[in-house]
Structure 1
Amino acid sequence: MDYNKSEFLIETEVPQDELIISRTDLNGNITYVNDVFCKISGYKPEELLGKQHNIVRHPDMPSVVFKDLWETIKSKKQWTGVVKNMRKDGGYYWVQAIVSGVYNEGVLVEYKSLRTPISYAEKLKHQKLYDKIRQENGEKIRKIIYQ
């Protein structure tokens, strides 16, 4: 993707009264998105359905966060965490995510994710934390001044 440098730094705020919902198959391919997910991410449903959910993964996110997510949900537990996602236009949005398995008669059939907005203080806290984790793990980090 080519990004306009000014777009890359634009945050889309998730409204307080909105809930972002998606479901994936067991391989992480998107099977359902709600209208809010499309509105916030900038994608049309047909651009998301069948794609890997990591289509919205922001490069600022440390890989260990997603390793923990997958280990947690594969052990039949619910994962909760703060995630910075990337919009189609290169902008970004922050959410509190809850990811868990969906079971039919005890058999895992899919995963669901519910995402809600977080405060500015939480965004700043997690950006600093994720930058530190990425640096400690030898992942590429950005040079940014925090205010």
Structure 2
Amino acid sequence: MANHVTPSGRETFFPASELIVSKTDLKGRLTYANGLFCQIAGYRESELIGQPHSIIRHPDMPRSVFRLLWDTIEDRREIFAFVKNMARNGDHYWVFAHVTPSFDVTGAMIGYHSNRRVPDREMLETAIMPLYAEVLKIERSHVNGKEALAAGFKALTEFVASKKVAYEELVFSHKSAA
């Protein structure tokens, strides 16, 4: 499925009492999407299954955030991250994602599971949006994709290190993230 969506600039929201849930295989292709995922993203489940999870990637999301996410889950660890996604109609929505590796009965990693909830708005506006904008600016200042990713990742990890907390502490803290 071709995904040539242009951002609309409109933000959409989902109820704080609900969770967006999805599962992927090890390559990041969707194997499950709950009803809220389909509703907020604007796709039927049959259109999503087998597609890369990046079908909802918003161009304002720094690639380096996804590098951090993938590095963490491929290392068999969970991660929490703020993510700006894009619906089929170009509207965007923010989530606070909890992504975990999934294992079979032998302990082999077989995919990934993600629960997304409504993010803390104050945290988004005071810390995450400015940080992502700065990291994205750094990434976009490079023509070469590998250099862009490396520079953005360096900026992201240096920011976290400057706060003298682990990444996990940073995403759960209002004061240390600002």
**Which TM-score bucket, shorter chain as reference?**
0.7 to 0.9
TM-score under structure 1 length normalisation? 0.87
* Structure 1 portions without partners, runs of 5+: 141-147
- Root-mean-square deviation (Å): 1.5
Counterpart residue type for residue 54 of structure 2: N
Aligned to 1:76: 76
Aligned to 1:117: 118
User: Between Structure 1 and Structure 2, how many residues are aligned?
Assistant: 137
Give runs of aligned pairs for residues 1-147 of structure 1, distance below 5 A. 1=4, 3=6, 8-104=8-104, 105-124=106-125, 125-138=127-140
* Structure 2 portions without partners, runs of 5+: 143-178
For the Cα contact (< 8 Å) 1:24–1:112, is it kept in 2? yes
Task: Indicate the structure with greater helix content.
Answer: 2
Alpha-carbon separation, structure 2, partners of 1:62 and 1:88: 20
Task: Indicate the structure with greater strand content.
Answer: 1
User: Helix, strand or coil: the match of 1:37?
Assistant: helix
Deviation string 1:4-53 (CA, Å, 9 cap, x unpaired) is xxx71111112111100000011110000000101111111111110000
Aligned to 1:143: none
List structure 1 segments (4+ residues) > 4 angstroms apart after TM superposition: none
Counting aligned pairs with the same residue, the percent is 38
TM-score under structure 2 length normalisation? 0.73
Larger CA Rg, structure 1 vs 2 = 2
Aligned to 1:145: none
Alpha-carbon separation, structure 2, partners of 1:86 and 1:119: 18
For the Cα contact (< 8 Å) 2:101–2:111, is it kept in 1? yes
For the Cα contact (< 8 Å) 1:62–1:139, is it kept in 2? no
